[in-house]
Structure formats: structure tokens, C-alpha cells
A and B are shown apart, each in its own frame.
Chain A
Amino acid sequence: MSAAHWRKAMNFTAARRDWSGGRAVAPPGRAPAVAPPSAPGARDWRLWRHVGVRHVVVLAAVLVYPWIVPPFFAFQIGGQALTLGLIALSLTFLAGYGGMLSLAQMTIAGIAGYVVAILGVSGTAEISLGWPWWLVVILAIAAGTLAATFIGWLSVRTEGIYTIMITLAIGVAFFYLAQQNYAIFNGFQGFQKVLPPVVLGIDWRAPIPYYYLALFWALAGYFFIKHLIRAPFGVALQGVRDNARRMSALGYSPVAHRVAAYAVAGVIASIGGVLMVWYNGLISPGSVGVSWLINILIIAVLGGMRHPIGPFIGAVVFVLLQNFAIDLVDRERFNLVIGVIFLVIVLFSPDGLLGWWDGLREWTRRRIDRPRSAIHGAGWRSVGVQQARPASRS
């Protein structure tokens, strides 16, 4: 995206920021952007304005969590859920706010993971180059982002339902490439013993350090997306989602916004991919197979795509199911369970668990505050799954 586009986005959307993020917020005014340094108090107040009790409680809970549970829960449940949630967050951003349901987010994560294994240290010494970890991580995220931009550039040429087909085809093609190719990807076996480095004397694969590493990036991703969807770029992207033709008439380039959204989602998915390969300690074609491409979709849909917290909720539920639902049925039948749950969510709750939460809140509010319920529905805009589809023909 060129600087001119950015400038355009900055100028044009500034006046209409009051509806950003899919829910009605008070107009923030333009003060923070050009605030004189003499008024730090007002600025601080603005920053903390959105922080409620529940935010503090949740943050405290996730910070304390690994110390009060056994290591299994900190690593296998907490660490894995945060990692998967981060990858699914990139899909939520693309689908919920950009209207592009990409099934290739796990492929991007996988590309970053493969780069970590190929350039860094792994059990397959013939292929792995053993470069220093910080260089490897930077290159892995760069490679993932580049791949994401390319996938975006290919798939934004068509719209809506085609995106899912194209990204699925790309994802499956990469899976077969990784499986067939032995020179670079080491074929079916992939790479074992891809471990995070020991930095500052801490082994980052130990449960609690890994949990905090994943938590840091999950929080960073979450707040970044939360900020981005209210920033001019995010607002313009949502405009493109809702009506690409109108945005085009206003002087925006829908293609540039969509490709940029893919790139941004690519950065997040790549970070998730690096964490994923460190979490698993290995990467193989199975990590980027169809079932995992779809699992990311399931996580995002399960949680709900109308808010960046959705993928993390979805990931927690998914990981808990993966570890405990199999005790209820046959150990081998996890796919059946997750498939049925996904079907139920798709059929009965298109907004995922967040949709149920909102429905519950709505219901209680109506019980408490009956007269105002009429007004409440008016300003409501759903960022649901059904609307993650560009209205190209209006």
C-alpha cells in the first residue's frame, strides 16, 4: 500500500470515526492525534476510559493462571490455546472485518514454522542451516507475511465465496508440496526437535515461560487488532467489506485495502506459526493439513467473529474439547465431536459463543430495563459471519 493511499485513508475517515469497530462508541474527537504535550492528564484519562472491571479481572486471571494450575494446564491448555487463538485471530480480522474468509491462515503459520525449522536448528541437520534464532524469527515472519501478501493478491481478484475456494486450494497445494518434497521440506517426516532458544537463562519451552511468551504475543495481537479496527485503515476496511463499490467511488482502493489486510493478518499468523512450531517442537505436513486449516476456521467461528476476543474463547473451548471430550466418547472420534459442534454452531448460532453471550446480555438488560429496549436495537450492527461477504451488487 502506497503512502498516498495511507494519507487518503487518514484524511477521509477521520470525520466518521464514531461508528468504528462495529459498535457505537462516543466520538473520540481528533484531540489524541494532535494533542499538545501540555495536557497529558486528559490523554491518560482517554486511554483508560474503556477499561472496565471485567478487563482487569480477566487480565489478572490470565496472569495468575499458570501459577495456580498444574504445568499440564499451563502448557497444553493455556499455551496451546493462546497460540491457536493468535493464528485464529488473524482469520477473525480478515473475515470479520475484511469480509474475506481465508482458509490459508494455517498455511501462512506453517510457512513461518517451516522457515524456523529450515533456517534454524532442528533434528534434521542435513537441511537445517542453524542460523541464530533472532535472525531466523525475523526471516520467518517476513516469509510468512510475504506469502500472505501473495495469497491475498491472488485471492482478492475474486470476491466473497470464491475466496474460500482459492485459499483452500492454495492451502492444500502447500500441504501436498510439503509432503512430496524432500529436498527442502523433508517430506512426510518434516522436522523434529525444533526448540525455542534459551534466552536470558530461561528455557522458553518450560510450561510457565512458554505460557507467558504466548500470552505476551496474544495480548499484543489482541490489542493491536482492537486498535487497528478503530484506526482509519480498519474503518476503511470495514467500509470495503460492507460496500466495496461505494468505497471505490469515495476514492479508496478496495484491492489495496484487502491486500494490506492480508499482509497484516499474515504478520499475526506468522508470529503464531513461530510460536506453534516451538510449542509442538516439530513441524510436519500434518501441521498444515486440511484438518488444521479447518480447525482454525472452527476456532474462529466457534468463538465468534464480531470481536477480537472471539478466537481466544474459541481456542480455549477447542483445546479443552481436544483434551477432555475424547474421554466422553471414543478417543479416536474427536473429529466427529468437533464436526458436530461446528455444524451446530453454523446452523444455530452464526455469531458463535460471543453471539450467545450478547444474546444473554441483551435478554438480561431487557428484563431489567424494559422501556429502553426499543432504542437499543436501532444502533446495532452485527459483524456476524453472514455479513462477512462483500455486498458487491448494491
Chain B
Amino acid sequence: MADNARLFFATLLNGLTLAALYFLVASGFTLVFGLLRNVNLAHGSLYLVGAYVGWVVGDWLGSWFLAVAAGFVCAALLGLILQIGVFRFMPGQDLRQTMATIALSIIAADIALWVWGGEIYQFDPPGWIIGATPLPIVGKFPTYRLVLLATAIVIGLGLWWFLVRTRVGMMIRAGVDDRAMLSASGIDVQKVFAITFAIGAGLAGFAGVVGGTALSIAPGEDTRYLLASLVVVIVGGMGSVTGAALGAVLVGVAEQFGLAYAPTYGIMFTFVIMALVLAFRPQGLLGRRA
């Protein structure tokens, strides 16, 4: 019995830390979608490229924190280039933009495979976060996962503060509600778009390094996190950061419980959640009708 409780809570905690990672990836995805109506299917590639660049920088400078920063900055720059160089020229053609992101994700995945090969890379974080922390019931739990959970909460709160309290955040929210009106009130919409895309992409790169430290980086991770982002925002509601948090918790916890209790059908848990949400609330739990 005690062992069952231990397994249950350990699984729950694992699910929450996975949810933290999913939230970091999916919040950028949903932010970009909410404002730009751009389903960025290259989001997983931004995650992977951010992770690789972070690894190179971390290996070179020997600092894990600089690696995290490098992952964020690199992915943000890539996002900026994408928005300014590609998507700006096809406004309103969301399907064409989406297909362009598919093409870019194929190209990015192949270039990453070319440059970094098929090996698995692991980060070297500072010693104090790779140990274990004793917790009640669960026993020893990897400290890094707790750090990940805390990071996601901090990022989530920061994002909330940014969107609600700052001027740019207000512009972004106004843009989500009515782009034409925002543009009519004399605001440079393209600049707001570029900022949003940079933040969204940067979050993916940030998550790449942070998540790559928790697990590892290898080809194919881009697909995994793209699927996670898709399911999280479909469940949570497109364009809603709170929805992304809720969706991430549901999906992350479901996936871990699936892995713990029904290993070979684990993915079905995620799928069933998505199917149920689509069947009863097609716009997502916290989404609004488009």
C-alpha cells in the first residue's frame, strides 16, 4: 500500500515536471497562434535548434546558464528572421504560412542532423541541481525536476505579468482580440508581431536547453515536442496562455500515468483527452470561438 502511494505521488510529480516542460514549449506556440494566426509547425525545430546551440555554447564556455541564455537568444533570433523574412509577406494566408513552416521544419531538422549528427547530447548543469532532494512520501526526487517545475512557474508568472501589466503586453492582448483595430489605433502591428514571434520562439529555445538537460537532445525530439505543443494547445484552447498551462498539466500528468500504469498504450491517454475535448468543447477548455 505504501509502495502504491509512493508510485502514485512519484508519477504525479513526474507528470507535473513534464507538464512544466510542455508549458514552456506550448506557451510560445499558443502566443504566436493567438496573435498572428500562424500555426508554427516549425516550433519543434526551434526547440531542437535552441537545444543544440545551447549545448555548443555551454560546451564552449563551460557555463550551463549561458547555455540557457544562448538557447533563448538563438531561437528568438531565428523566430525574428522567420517573421520578418517570410511570414510578413503572406499576411492572412494562414494555410500557406503553415505549409511554409512545415517546409522550414523539414529543412531545419535535416540541417541539424547534418551538423550535429545522430548522437545523443547531454548537458552538464552545475552540481547542485543534478543531485536528489528528499521529499515526504515520494522519497528522493531529482532536484533538477523540481528546479524545472519552479522555472516553469516563474516563467508563467512572468509571462502573465508581461501580458497584463506592460504596454507591449497590452498591445499583444489587444492584437489577439482585434488586429485591425489595433493597427487602426496607430500602433506598428508588424513590430508587435515581430516581438511576439521572437518571445514565442525564444521560449521554445529556452525550453530546448532546459528540457534537454532533464532528458537529452537527439534527432526526433522536435516531433515529440511539436506533438506535445499541438495537443496542449488543442486541449487548453488556442491563443490562451492560461489554457496552455491547464492543457500542459492535463497532458503531462496523463502521459506519466500512462507510462507508469499502461506502458505500451501510454500515448492513448493523451489521445483520449484530446478526443474528448474536441468532442465536447472543440475550441479547447479555455479557448474562445474563432
Is the beta-carbon distance between A333 and B274 smaller than 8 angstroms?
A: no
**For A158, what are the chain B residues with a Cβ–Cβ distance below 8 Å?**
278, 282-283, 290
Please report the C-alpha to C-alpha distance between residue A338 and residue B102 in the assembled complex, in whole angstroms. 11
Q: Given that A157-B279, A161-B94 are known contacts, is A333 also in contact with B110, CB under 8 Å in the complex?
A: yes
Is the beta-carbon distance between B104 and A181 smaller than 8 angstroms?
A: no
Please report the C-alpha to C-alpha distance between residue A286 and residue B121 in the assembled complex, in whole angstroms. 23
Q: Given that A164-B39, A336-B107 are known contacts, is A173 also in contact with B267, CB under 8 Å in the complex?
A: yes
**For B227, what are the chain A residues with a Cβ–Cβ distance below 8 Å?**
168-169, 172-173, 176
Verify if B95 is at the interface (C-beta below 8 Å from A): yes
Please report the C-alpha to C-alpha distance between residue A101 and residue B99 in the assembled complex, in whole angstroms. 10
Q: Given that A157-B279, A168-B41, A183-B264 are known contacts, is A335 also in contact with B106, CB under 8 Å in the complex?
A: yes
Verify if A154 is at the interface (C-beta below 8 Å from B): yes
**For B282, what are the chain A residues with a Cβ–Cβ distance below 8 Å?**
157-158
Is the beta-carbon distance between B103 and A160 smaller than 8 angstroms?
A: no
**Contact partner, A173, options B39, B94, B95, B270, Cβ 8 Å:** B270
Is the beta-carbon distance between A172 and B95 smaller than 8 angstroms?
A: no
Please report the C-alpha to C-alpha distance between residue A333 and residue B265 in the assembled complex, in whole angstroms. 34
Is the beta-carbon distance between A290 and B104 smaller than 8 angstroms?
A: no
Chain B residues numbered 101-154 whose CB sits less than 8 Å from any CB in chain A: 102-104, 106-107, 109-111, 113-114
Verify if A195 is at the interface (C-beta below 8 Å from B): no
Verify if A339 is at the interface (C-beta below 8 Å from B): yes
Is the beta-carbon distance between B95 and A165 smaller than 8 angstroms?
A: no
Please report the C-alpha to C-alpha distance between residue A159 and residue B95 in the assembled complex, in whole angstroms. 12
Query: What are the interface flags for A286-302 relative to B under an 8 Å C-beta threshold, 1 for contact and 0 otherwise?
Result: 00001100100100010
Chain A residues numbered 168-195 whose CB sits less than 8 Å from any CB in chain B: 168-170, 172-173, 176-177, 180-183
What's the minimum C-beta distance from B43 to chain A, rounded to whole angstroms? 11
Verify if A320 is at the interface (C-beta below 8 Å from B): no
Interface residues in A, total, Cβ within 8 A: 44
Is the beta-carbon distance between A340 and B107 smaller than 8 angstroms?
A: yes
Verify if A350 is at the interface (C-beta below 8 Å from B): yes
**Contact partner, B95, options A343, A347, A385, Cβ 8 Å:** A385
Q: Which of B63-71, B178-186, B230-238 forms contacts with chain A?
A: B230-238
Is the beta-carbon distance between A161 and B95 smaller than 8 angstroms?
A: yes
Verify if B162 is at the interface (C-beta below 8 Å from A): no
Which of B99, B238, B278 gathers the greatest number of chain A CB atoms within 10 Å?
B99
**For A38, what are the chain B residues with a Cβ–Cβ distance below 8 Å?**
none
Is the beta-carbon distance between B95 and A177 smaller than 8 angstroms?
A: no
What's the minimum C-beta distance from B91 to chain A, rounded to whole angstroms? 12
Query: What are the interface flags for B262-290 relative to A under an 8 Å C-beta threshold, 1 for contact and 0 otherwise?
Result: 01111110110011001100110000001
Verify if B242 is at the interface (C-beta below 8 Å from A): no
Please report the C-alpha to C-alpha distance between residue A332 and residue B95 in the assembled complex, in whole angstroms. 29
Question: Could you show 7 A-B contacts with beta carbons less than 8 Å apart?
Answer: A154-B275, A161-B39, A165-B230, A165-B233, A172-B227, A346-B96, A388-B95
